[in-house]
Amino acid sequence: MSDTTGKRALRPATAMVHGGTMRSGFGETSEALFLTQGFVYDTAEAAEARFKGDEPGFIYSRYSNPTTRMFEERMMLLEGAEDARATASGMAAVAAALQCQVKAGDHIVAARALFGSCRYVIETVLGRAGVESTFVDGRDLDQWRAALRPNTKVAFLESPTNPTLEVIDIAAVAEIVHSVGARLVVDNVFATPIWQKPLTLGADVVIYSATKHIDGQGRCLGGVILSSKDWIDENLHDYFRHTGPSLSPFNAWTLLKGLETLPLRVRAQTDSAARIADHLAGSGKIARVLYPGREDHPDHAIARRQMGAGSTLVAFELSGGKDAAFRFSNALEVIKISNNLGDAKSLITHPATTTHKNLAPEVRAELGIGDGLLRLSAGLEDVEDLLEDLEAALAAV
Ligand SMILES: *Cc1c(COP(=O)(O)O)cnc(C)c1O
């Protein structure tokens, strides 16, 4: 196997095509798919040396696999991280990244606007293990400061948030969290690795659901945890090997090929999302349009500072509540109703009755998730077709 990354630092689009490639002796053009559980050794001595760590090489695909490692290496180049571990889903990444660094008696602070399963991991799974938690309004820095305790080990946030696209000041939260020696973990799914680099903003660990933009074509689940080599060696390395949230080589191969087109896709989807946000805001028929790239977004100044562009998602509120939101969604023809995002296909979600239905009504109200709120993930279709689809749906409300 040979690594063909070369010596010069590559720009992101180039790194996503070539980075991390390990060619086998056949010299294949496309990355090879190593569908193997294990590896064989020439001699018993070679097996002993590999287990002792005296010789490099793969041991077992729960630990690592050549195809999975290519995906991790390419993600490390994109994120500017020293090391990474790929996981079977985004939630496996969140659960592993949090659980590997806490014990009973520790405390976690998290922004309250979270993907529902993330909240379950923190409150219920880690709560059962004796880890305490506090949820704060992520945009209010005083709430972060007030929530910190001597036993606070980890802070967790996502930005922009799901589904209302609030933007949290990652650098400011990192500074607050580090003042008590805790670590900041950022779920960067909504921002994408193209538009936001949490590690350079001061975060210690970044996680992705690779299911979203990184695959980007609706095929397989996956996740990844990225950090410094020290953090991974000290916290994640053994936890990962022994609990086995590993990504399958087949899915790693799919995601690796997804990375080749990620910069192009995210740019195109962001351009469409921005066009859609402006179009909806200008239509006069929408009560509220939420898009971090627009100047009327409440957190626009922070978004400009820490993100390279808006987002591939737009949220908007129809004044007729659930009835209007349902009629609007049902009238769409090109845009599909789905709870997923980051796909080549444009997808629309009614959070109050799907992704966020388990929240108490008062919590939903606190998070700004009204009955008329819709979340749109812009795909790769011609934006004119999307605008026409939205116009026709508006006429039906
Ligand atoms: C989808 C998603 C997850 C979970 O990822 P899966 O791959 O579905 O397990 C976590 N965080 C955010 C922000 C997500 O959008």
DSSP string over 268-285: HHHHHHHHHHHHHHHHS-
232 shares a domain with 272: no
The pLDDT value recorded for residue 7 is: 65
Domain boundary among 222, 257, 292: 257
213 shares a domain with 355: no
What is this structure's pTM? 0.97
Residue 185 counted as domain residue: yes
Take atom 6 of ligand 1 and give the residue whose Cα is closest: 90
Domain count, the chain: 2
Q: Choose which residue among 186, 211, 247 to substitute to test ligand 1 binding: the one with the highest number of ligand atoms within 8 A of its C-beta.
A: 211
Take atom 1 of ligand 1 and give the residue whose Cα is closest: 209
Q: Separation of 93 CA from ligand 1 center, angstroms? A: 9
Give phi and psi for 250, each to the nearest 5: -65, -45
Give yes or no for residue 53 having a pLDDT over 60: yes
- Work out the end-to-end distance of the chain between its first and last CA atoms, rounded to an integer number of angstroms: 59
Query: CB-side exposure of 128: number of CA atoms within 13 Å?
Result: 4
Q: Where are the beta strands (DSSP E) in 258-320?
A: 288-290, 313-317
The pLDDT value recorded for residue 284 is: 84
Q: Average per-residue pLDDT in the chain?
A: 96
The pLDDT value recorded for residue 9 is: 79
- How far is 353 from 349, CA to CA, in rounded Å? 9
DSSP state of 122: I
CATH number of the CATH domain containing 344: 3.90.1150.10
The pLDDT value recorded for residue 114 is: 87
Residue 2 counted as domain residue: no
pLDDT-based confidence at 5, cuts 50/70/90?
A: low
214 shares a domain with 89: yes
pLDDT-based confidence at 42, cuts 50/70/90?
A: very high
Residue 13 counted as domain residue: yes
Alpha-carbon torsion 383, 385, 386, 391, what sign? positive
Tokens of 233: 């060696």
Domain boundary among 226, 257, 288: 257
Residue 328 counted as domain residue: yes
Residue 336 counted as domain residue: yes
128 shares a domain with 52: yes
Pocket of ligand 1 (CB under 6 A): 89-91, 94, 115, 118, 158, 162, 187, 189-190, 209, 211-212, 221, 223
Q: Separation of 91 CA from ligand 1 center, angstroms? A: 6
Q: Separation of 26 CA from ligand 1 center, angstroms? A: 37
| Atom of ligand 1 minimally distant from the CA of 212 | 1
Q: Separation of 189 CA from ligand 1 center, angstroms? A: 7
pLDDT-based confidence at 3, cuts 50/70/90?
A: low
The whole-number average pLDDT for the span 26-43 is: 97
Domain boundary among 220, 238, 257: 257
216 shares a domain with 76: yes
Query: For residue 278, what are the domain limits?
Result: 262-396
